[in-house]
Amino acid sequence: MTSDPKSEGHRQDNPSPRQAYRDAAPYLTLGIQLAVTVVIFFLLGWWLDSHNNTSPTFQLVGVLVGSVGGMIKFLKSVTEMSKKEDTSKPDSRED
């Protein structure tokens, strides 16, 4: 039984599910990191409000700081990962 060269090339183009998860893993954690950052700053604001009787001032400040800080970290991480991905791939352009 001979193998079809087209199907062999197709297998090489499609990575295995394990490899796909490995490649996507850094991106999957970014959403969790963003959410955890916002929640931590909200809880810190809630704690400050409960001690100073200033509800919801510090909670709102905490959500704002957590959102902005988390988004900055998110964008930096995505930019870093895409640069690493671009440098690791061979240049497929032909001159």
Most confident of 25-34, 59-68, 75-84: 59-68
- 56-60: average pLDDT: 96
pLDDT per residue as tens digits for the range 13-53: 677 888 888 888 888 889 899 999 999 999 999 999 999 99
Q: How far is Cα 57 from Cα 42, in angstroms, rounded to an integer?
A: 11
pTM: 0.69
CB neighbours of residue 77 within 10 Å: 16
Burial class (CB in 10 A: 0-12, 13-18, 19+), 66: buried
pLDDT in the model for residue 15: 76
Position 10 scores a pLDDT of 47
By CB atoms closer than 10 A (0-12, 13-18, 19+), residue 62 is buried
Closest CA to 45 of 23, 29, 32, 61: 61
Q: Where are the domains of the chain?
A: 42-83
Widest Cα–Cα separation across the chain: 79
